[in-house]
Amino acid sequence: MSPPAPYILVADDDATTRDALQGALRRGGFASERAQDGASSDGDSATHDVAVVLVSVGTASAEGLDRVRRMREAPATRGASIIAVVSPHEEGCVERALAAGADDFVRGPVWEPELLSRVRGQLRLRASLHELARKERDARVMVEITQALTSSLDFREILGTVVGRLAEVMRVERCSIVVAHEAGDVGYVLVASDDARVRDLPIELERYPEIQRVLQTRRPLTIDDATSHPMFWEVRAHVSSTRYPMLTLIPIDSEDRAVGVLFLRASEARGSLDEREVSLCQVVANATAIAIRNARVVQKLRDERLAVSSAHIEAEQRVRMLERYADLFHSSADGMAVIDESGRVIFANPKVSEITGYTDDEVRNGNLLLAIARQDRARVSVLREGFRRGEFPAGVDLRIRRRDGGERVVSIATSALLRDQSAVLVTLRDVTDERAIASELARTKEFLSSLIESSPDAIVASRLDGTILLFNSAAERILGYPRELVVGAGSVEMLYPPGAAREIMRRIRTAPESRIASLRAEVLSRSGERIPVLLSAALVSENGAAVASVGVFSDIRERILLEERLAQFQQRVALSEKQVIAAELAGAAAHELNQPLTAIQGYAELLQRKADADSAIGRGAAVILRESERMAEIVRKIGKIARYETKQYVGGTSILDLDRAAGSDSLPPEELK
Task: Return the CATH number at 503.
Answer: 3.30.450.20
Measure the CA–CA gap between 393 and 387, rounded to whole angstroms.
Answer: 9
Position 69 in a domain: yes
- Give the pLDDT band (50/70/90) at residue 445: confident
**417 and 346 within one domain:** yes
Q: What is the mean pLDDT of the chain?
A: 78
Domain assignment present for residue 131? The answer is: no
- Residue 455: how many other CB atoms lie within 10 Å: 13
Q: What is the pLDDT confidence band of residue 95, given thresholds at 50, 70 and 90?
A: confident
Residues 590 and 647 in one domain: yes
Task: Give the confidence band of 248 by pLDDT, cuts at 50, 70, 90.
Answer: very high
Reported residue count of the chain is: 673
What is the average per-residue pLDDT within 223-248?
Answer: 84
- Evaluate whether residue 445 is within a structural domain: no
Q: Confirm whether 2 is domain-assigned.
A: no
The residue-averaged pLDDT of 231-236 equals: 83
Residue 154 and residue 69 share a domain? no
Please check the confidence at residue 61 and state whether its pLDDT lies above 80.
Answer: no
Contact at 8 Å (CB) between 496 and 504?
A: yes
Predicted confidence at residue 279, as pLDDT, reads 83
What pLDDT is stored for residue 651 in this prediction?
Answer: 44
**pLDDT tier at 326, thresholds 50, 70, 90:** low
Q: Taken in order 503, 504, 506, 512, is the CA torsion positive or negative?
A: positive
- The predicted pLDDT at position 261 comes to 92
Identify the weakest region by mean pLDDT among 137-151, 388-402, 423-437: 137-151
- Render 315-349 in DSSP notation, one character per residue: HHHHHHHHHHTHHHHHH-SSEEEEEETT-BEEEE-
Choose the final residue of a domain: 246, 277, 299: 299
How far apart (Å, rounded) are the C-alpha atoms in residues 470 and 492?
A: 10
Amino acid 115: pLDDT: 84
| pLDDT reported for residue 220 | 92
Whether residue 32 is found in the same domain as residue 103: yes
Residues 529 and 581 in one domain: no
User: What does the pLDDT average to over 139-143?
Assistant: 47
Say how many C-beta atoms besides its own lie within 10 A of residue 295's C-beta: 19
Within-domain flag for 138:
no
Picking from 268, 299, 330, the residue at the C-terminal end of a domain is 299
Q: Is the pLDDT of residue 649 over 50?
A: no
Answer yes or no: is 128 within a domain. no
Choosing from 520, 555, 590, the residue where a domain stops is: 555
Separation of alpha carbons 227 and 243, rounded Å: 10
In this prediction, residue 144 carries a pLDDT of: 42
| pLDDT exceeds cutoff 80 at 321 | no
In this structure, the answer to whether residues 238 and 367 fall within a common structural domain is no
**What CATH code is carried by the domain that includes residue 644?**
1.10.287
Asked whether residue 68 falls in the same domain as residue 164, the answer is no
Mean pLDDT of 572-585: 77
The stretch 235-240 carries a mean pLDDT of 78
Same domain, 100 and 15: yes
Mean pLDDT, residues 502-517 taken together: 88
High-pLDDT (> 70) share of the chain, %: 80
Q: Where are the alpha helices (DSSP H) in 389-497?
A: 432-453, 473-479, 483-486
Q: What is the mean pLDDT of residues 624-635?
A: 80
Q: pLDDT-derived band of residue 333, with 50, 70 and 90 as boundaries?
A: confident
Q: Which pLDDT score is estimated for 219?
A: 92
pLDDT of residue 644: 47
CA distance 523 to 497: 6
Tell me, yes or no, whether 213 and 355 share the same domain: no
Query: Which residues constitute the domain of residue 32?
Result: 7-123
On whether both 51 and 160 belong to a single domain, the answer is no
pLDDT of residue 305: 58
Closest CA relative to residue 410, chosen from 427, 430, 394: 430
Query: Does one domain contain both 589 and 542?
Result: no
Q: What mean pLDDT is predicted for residues 539-563?
A: 87
Say what the pTM is.
Answer: 0.33
Weakest mean pLDDT among 31-40, 206-215, 310-319, 422-431: 310-319
pLDDT at residue number 673? 39
Q: Where are the alpha helices (DSSP H) in 149-274?
A: 155-170, 209-217, 236-239
Q: Answer yes or no: is 142 within a domain.
A: no
- Does residue 143 belong to any structural domain of this protein? no
Per-residue pLDDT at 149 = 43
119: domain CATH number? 3.40.50.2300
Q: What is the pLDDT of residue 431?
A: 87
Q: Is residue 639 within a helix (H) or strand (E), and if so which, with residue range?
A: helix 616-641
**pLDDT grade, residue 2 (50/70/90)?**
very low
pLDDT of 648 > 50? The answer is: no
What's the pLDDT at 664? 45
Structural domain total, the chain = 5
Whether residues 156 and 277 share a domain: the answer is yes
**% of the chain residues with pLDDT over 90:** 5
Q: Looking at 173-182, 428-437, 609-618, which range is the least confident one?
A: 609-618
Neighbour-count burial for 378-394, b at 16+ CB within 10 Å, e otherwise: eebeebeeebeeeebeb
DSSP 510-570: HSGGGEEEEEEEEEE-TT--EEEEEEEEEEEEETTEEEEEEEEEEE-HHHHHHHHHHHHHH
